[in-house]
Structure 1
Amino acid sequence: MRYIIIGAGAVGGTVGGRLAQAGREVVLVARGQHLAALAERGLKLRVPEGESTYRLPAVEGPDPLGELRADDVLLLAVKTQDTVAALEAWGEAPVAGGGTAAERLPLVCLQNGVEGQRLALRRFRQVYGVCVWLPSTFVEPGVVSAAGTPLTGILHLGRYPHGADDTARRIAADLAAARFEAPVVPDVARWQYAKLLGNLGNALEAVSGPVDSEQAMALYASVRAEGEAVLDAAGIAYASAQEQKEARADKVTLVPLDGSPRGGGSSWQSLVRGTGTIEADHLNGEIVLLGRLHGTPTPLNELLQRLANRFAREHRPAGSLPIAELLRLAEEAVGAADR
């Protein structure tokens, strides 16, 4: 199989680099300065065992590839807010032997949240979801890093909306050869909703910095409690904290990498890079949506969604809202919801 990594940033670049290292055929899809760097200098992947450069085909869209191959696998690793544009670009790409990518090729969603695969299933017949636990960083154009060892990450994989098949197992085998653990599960959404609860802290970190103080951790606990209440009200199952702990164990330990500070998570990185967008609508916003559908108040997630979007839109520095000010806003939001 040939893997086409649509969105070769932190997660996509790491998966693409590791697959290439394992001898799999990989095409990287990127844009702007990142694409230029990949084409000129290759992909530099910094990992605990050192830095490697992979000279891989790099394209902006499907046209330079001509007809796609029948054994191609599309790995969608763009942020959820960029999903529709990516699906439009790749869905109608012709495949050798007839038909389009949307009709014939598997699409694997390597994304936070749950909305990307819903969007994909509107266009693609074969959609696979992944619960992505992969600490990685976009360092600069052409350079990504992943600090996990002995495994680079854990990627629960399954057919969406449910089930498992031979394609999933073949992809999982390739990922396992590339330093990932990739359990094939029939209920991948259950793992993704559990990860969503953890990702509710992304916006908090993005606007106010690391969630490591007593105040910040208490606020995150309240934000997560809102999320759990909403999922329970909606009847949505999610893996327990104990299940996640047992699945991860000590398989992915983070180590410092020279020249690649870990920084923050995906939302924090979006603000640092000044992309102008952020994924809060599909993380905290998913909880807000479900809360409105099922009559469960979500004032803290609404607040974080709104603040994260404002920070992205106005290009405010990541972590620049003092935690004391955020706590004041949170108290006001909860008070207004109680009235």
Structure 2
Amino acid sequence: MRLVIIGAGAVGGVVAGRLAGAGVDVVVVARGAHLEAIRRDGLLLREADGDSVHRLPACAGPEEVDWRDGDVAVLAVKTNDTHDVLERLPRGLPIVCLQNGVANERAALRLFADVYGVCVMLPATHLAPGVVVAQCAPVPGILDIGRIPGGTDRTSHEIAGAFVRAGFHCEVSDDVMRRKYAKLLLNLGNAVEALCGLVDGLDEAIAPVRAEGEAVLRAAGIAYATAEEDAERRGDTLRWRVVAGQDRGGSSTWQSLARGTGSVEADYLNGEIVLLGRLHGLPVPANETARRLVVQAAHRRAAPGGMTPAEFLAAIERERSRTQAS
């Protein structure tokens, strides 16, 4: 089995580096300055116990990969890039969604029969070309996997085995989407963190966003792992460490603003709750505010932390008043 990791950013890059270090056959797909740096200098993986450089085959797109029998395509791109990637992949491949959100698996199932979801709990950072940082040690992350829409099979166990060889904790789940919906609830706060930064009052600003998410999932009849189950699964596995003098960074959305990428995946995180709220007739002003403001900030290439939690909460109230008046 060869794993072709499409999107070698924070999560994809750390997973690729750890897999390569464990002797797993890996190819990465990247772009821009990041791709150039990997081709020139290798992928630099920074961890608490030291740095490692991995000379990996690196391609600019799926079309450059020399696809072979037994290859598995591992999507680690933001959800807003998923459709484009899927359209460019050879049909018949197993597809692994190493991604946040819950829309990727549905999109993959339209085109591919063998789709696997991964509930990703992997604190990582990618802010410089060619460099990714794993921020937890000795276990870099938890990658639970399952077949979509449910069940397990030989491929899911083989991929799980590769993850375990690379040092990750991994369970094969017959209902991985239940875990992914719980992770979605956590990721709803990413937009708020990116807008406000890691400041006092952030939890209070995130609270209405999460409360809306839980209410909408209940209304839609969508099962998700409870906070207690999530805490038990994590346990004390993920231990934050300072790496190369760099303390904890922000979420993936925070990093997108920090790198000035021009886009974020909030349309598929907070936007998932907005969509379900509209489908089931529930107002979702907090998630719509978070989605709209962080997308606007990305388009302006604004730095993270441009507003206070109080300003964000006030923006929610304005959105609530606007929708009630319409």
TM-score per shorter chain, which class?
A: over 0.9
State whether structure 2 residue 52 is matched by structure 1 residue 52. yes
> 1:12-39 CA deviation, whole Å, 9 max, x = no partner?
0000000011110111110111110000
> 1:170-193 CA deviation, whole Å, 9 max, x = no partner?
100110111111111011110000
Q: Which of 175, 187, 194 in structure 2 is aligned with 1:187?
A: 175
SS in structure 2 opposite 1:181?
Answer: coil
SS in structure 1 opposite 2:8?
Answer: coil
| Mapping for residues 87-236 of structure 1, pairs under 5 Å | 87-90=86-89, 92=90, 102-103=91-92, 105-210=93-198, 212-213=199-200, 215-236=201-222
Q: Which letter does structure 1 place at the counterpart of 2:254?
A: W
Q: Which letter does structure 1 place at the counterpart of 2:33?
A: Q
Partner of 1:21: 21
SS in structure 2 opposite 1:195?
Answer: helix
Residues in 2 aligned to 1:242 and 1:261: alpha-carbon distance in whole angstroms: 27
Shift of 1:118: 1.1
Residues in 1 aligned to 2:230 and 2:285: alpha-carbon distance in whole angstroms: 27
Residues in 2 aligned to 1:64 and 1:113: alpha-carbon distance in whole angstroms: 27
Contact 2:273-2:287 within 8 A present in 1 as well: yes
Q: Which letter does structure 2 place at the counterpart of 1:206?
A: A
Contact 1:29-1:61 within 8 A present in 2 as well: yes
Paired residues, number: 325
TM-score (norm. length: structure 1): 0.93
> Which stretches of structure 1, 4 residues or more, deviate above 6 A after TM superposition?
none
Shift of 1:333: 2.3
Uncovered stretches (5+) of structure 1, i.e. residues with no partner: 93-101
Q: Which of 254, 258, 278 in structure 1 is aligned with 2:240?
A: 254
Q: Which letter does structure 2 place at the counterpart of 1:19?
A: L
Shift of 1:337: 4.3
Partner of 2:85: 86
Residues in 1 aligned to 2:247 and 2:297: alpha-carbon distance in whole angstroms: 22
Identity %: 53
Residues in 2 aligned to 1:283 and 1:295: alpha-carbon distance in whole angstroms: 19
Contact 1:35-1:58 within 8 A present in 2 as well: yes
TM-score (norm. length: structure 2): 0.97
Contact 2:117-2:147 within 8 A present in 1 as well: yes
More moved, 123-132 vs 56-65: 56-65
Residues in 1 aligned to 2:127 and 2:195: alpha-carbon distance in whole angstroms: 20
Residues in 1 aligned to 2:118 and 2:307: alpha-carbon distance in whole angstroms: 32
Contact 1:145-1:260 within 8 A present in 2 as well: no
> 1:244-295 CA deviation, whole Å, 9 max, x = no partner?
1111101110111115443210001111111111111000000000011111
Residues in 2 aligned to 1:261 and 1:60: alpha-carbon distance in whole angstroms: 31
Residues in 2 aligned to 1:27 and 1:165: alpha-carbon distance in whole angstroms: 23
Residues in 2 aligned to 1:184 and 1:166: alpha-carbon distance in whole angstroms: 10
More moved, 116-125 vs 171-180: 116-125
Uncovered stretches (5+) of structure 2, i.e. residues with no partner: none
> 1:100-155 CA deviation, whole Å, 9 max, x = no partner?
xx22x211001110011111111111110011110000031100001112211011
Residues in 1 aligned to 2:31 and 2:17: alpha-carbon distance in whole angstroms: 17
> 1:215-265 CA deviation, whole Å, 9 max, x = no partner?
321221111010000000000000001111111101110111115443210
RMSD value, Cα: 1.3
State whether structure 2 residue 302 is matched by structure 1 residue 322. no
Contact 2:178-2:223 within 8 A present in 1 as well: yes
Partner of 1:34: 34
